[in-house]
Amino acid sequence: MSRLEAKKPSLCKSEPLTTERVRTTLSVLKRIVTSCYGPSGRLKQLHNGFGGYVCTTSQSSALLSHLLVTHPILKILTTSIQNHVSSFSDCGLFTAILCCNLIENVQRLGLTPTTVIRLNKHLLSLCISYLKSETCGCRIPVDFSSTHILLCLVRSILTSKPACMLTRKETEHVSALILRAFLLTIPENAEGHIILGKSLIVPLKGQRVIDSTVLPGILIEMSEVQLMRLLPIKKSTALKVALFCTTLSGDISDTGEGTVVVSYGVSLENAVLDQLLNLGRQLISDHVDLVLCQKVIHPSLKQFLNMHRIIAIDRIGVTLMEPLTKMTGTQPIGSLGSICPNSYGSVKDVCTAKFGSKHFFHLIPNEATICSLLLCNRNDTAWDELKLTCQTALHVLQLTLKEPWALLGGGCTETHLAAYIRHKTHNDPESILKDDECTQTELQLIAEAFCSALESVVGSLEHDGGDILTDMKYGHLWSVQADSPCVANWPDLLSQCGCGLYNSQEELNWSFLRSTRHPFVPQSCLPHEAVGSASNLILDCLTAKLSGLQVAIETANLILDLSYVIEDKN
């Protein structure tokens, strides 16, 4: 009998943010996410000491899912970011960096948590109202009748993920493919409420990125021998499809939703096989051309169907069931009994295809709302990162379809927003405080901490020792290389702002980021001709950025409000 141990009392810690251990841990997490940020972010390699899978990434979704976090405060932070990324896919690192810096900045002020939280909420409301307003100087409309802005949005996501290891030509090629794959998921004759289709990513590792392509329909990977056995179908009309979600292997332990009735003295195996063949006869009488099965088809049934020129494909797997249901219009059949005529669907045509060393059976849809993105990259690591990035880009395009606006990227939105907040809090504090009991001095302190946190996100884009400037007209970011002279004519050193909208040939005045300067009002209402003439804009998804901003500030408020951490040590 094992020895019983007395339960240990719970460990209670007051004022957790004041402990050196928590501050150090938060600082380490901040350095990790900061060093990953932007197109020149440094990659992280994550693995455990016992071997196994090694993840090389700079993306927040992969990074946080592989990090083992034990401290309760860090768990709150990482869980909040992971929840945001699972819903919006983008702006995870932005959220993490902003949250960590805001916590650090307000801790130095010595204000009460109640005051800090109340003022942070006011500033968050101010930010969201401005970014959603018609006068916002860093928000541009997305026109779905033109590919220009959409391509800029996708390209911005791809270039911010260095572990994809793409050249400029490859980036342009993959950007066009992602946009095409997304557009194929939009129904042609959609009116009112739109139900989008689905883009399936098919792996082709070890191939050139430039060999990637998009095809309407679904590709089912098969061996060359299997494809050679399939009989060609020649038919001028659509092909009738039956889709089974139960096994057709004759396994008695898995009869799906139906039952098998067996008379006394009859072999169970023969009875099930007879029922399978009866099922096959119904498929033949219903003029079915293609039978697809999630699991296994009995060899005798498969041969019987082939004799009657019906193509039978099994072991499709659960992943393709939903896309096949959407594309063919079938209702998955879950029993061996009589089939309802409404369960059948159709495809326009079928053919075989070969890409690299892989062979596929290609189902061509009647209406192309399901497509396959054949994604190539040189090795497993680069392919895994590129797949995650393509999924992010496709999700961002879906979010943009719902809310057709984008924010200027490359750090320009953050510096512009910081300039706007400083101007607003200095020149019109009453409109922010309204009936709040906080003083204007407290507002100025919190606003400076808030703006400094936004500018820290911008500073995270620079990893090579360069300097960051902001102009005093638009409030945009401008980067200067590390080896630039201390006293210089800025227009000669600067080419374009971070988002690529403005160039240095305009009459602008610059100052270093975080330098002391008088608050100014950044120019609002972007000129349409400036947006249209910029060829390579860097853009962010408005919906994802707004959510990231909100999650960062609300999580910071939650952590700052913690008075006790109680841990059960049993």
Does 559 lie in the same domain as 454? yes
At residue 243, the 3 state secondary structure works out as strand
Is residue 225 very low, low, confident or very high in pLDDT (cuts 50, 70, 90)? Answer: confident
Per the domain annotation, does 80 fall within a domain? yes
Per-residue pLDDT at 534:
67
233 and 314 belong to one structural domain: yes
Asked if residue 292 has pLDDT above 60, the reply is yes
Is the predicted pLDDT of residue 144 greater than 70, yes or no?
A: yes
**pLDDT digit string (tens) for 84-120?**
999 999 999 999 999 999 999 999 998 999 999 999 9
CATH number at residue 344: 3.50.7.10
Mean pLDDT, rounded, for 438-446: 91
Residues 212 and 223 grouped into a single domain: no
DSSP 278-345: HHHHHHHHTT--EEEESS-B-HHHHHHHHHTT-EEE----STTHHHHHHHH----B-SSSPPPGGG-E
Most confident segment among 11-20, 277-286, 524-533, 561-570: 277-286
Fill in the amino acid letter for 444: Q
Q: Which of 347, 367, 387 is the last residue of a domain?
A: 367
**With pLDDT > 90 as the criterion, what percentage of the chain qualifies?**
63
Domain hosting 159: range is 143-216+374-403
**DSSP E strand boundaries for 186-273:** 198-205, 213-216, 218-222, 239-244
The answer on pLDDT for 1 being more than 50 is: no
Give the pLDDT of residue 52: 75
Q: What is the CATH number of the domain that holds 149?
A: 3.30.260
- Quick one: 76 and 149 in the same domain? no
Question: Quick one: 323 and 338 in the same domain?
Answer: yes
417 belongs to a structural domain: yes
Q: If you search the block for the tokens 């805001």, which residue do you land on?
A: 102
User: Which phi and psi (to 5°) does residue 286 adopt?
Assistant: -85, 5
Residues 562 and 422 in one domain: yes
41 and 183 belong to one structural domain: no
Query: Long-range contacts for 383-387 (Cβ within 8 Å, ≥24 apart)?
Result: 383/203, 383/205, 384/55, 385/56, 385/57, 385/59, 385/62, 385/161, 385/163, 385/164, 386/161, 386/164, 386/166, 386/174, 386/209, 387/201, 387/203
Domain count within the chain: 3
| DSSP state letter for 12 | E
Report if residue 6 sits inside a domain: no
Q: Examine the domain organization and report whether 342 and 229 are in the same domain.
A: yes
- Same-domain check for residues 105 and 175: no
pLDDT classification of 266: cutoffs 50, 70, 90: low
Residues 134 and 163 in one domain: no
Identify whether 200 is part of a domain: yes
Q: Alpha-carbon distance 514 to 220, whole Å?
A: 55
Task: DSSP for 101-148, please give it.
Answer: HHHHHHHTTT--HHHHHHHHHHHHHHHHHHHTSTT-TTEEE--TT-SH
Is 530 contained in some domain? no
* pTM score above 0.85: yes
Separation between Cα atoms, residue 323 and residue 245, nearest integer Å: 13
Whether residue 87 lies inside any domain: the answer is: yes
Residue 156 DSSP SS3: helix
CATH number for the domain spanning 563: value is: 1.10.560.10
**Is residue 491 domain-resident?**
no
pLDDT in tens, 412-431: 999 999 999 999 999 888 88
3-state secondary structure 429-453: HHHHHCCCCCCHHHHHHHHHHHHHH
Structure confidence at residue 329 as a pLDDT band (50, 70, 90): very high
- Residue 233's φ and ψ, nearest 5 degrees, are -105, 125
Q: Which amino acid is at 318?
A: V
Pair 420, 311 in one domain: no
Do 244 and 336 share a structural domain? yes
Residue 476: inside a domain:
no
pLDDT at residue 296 in the model? 94
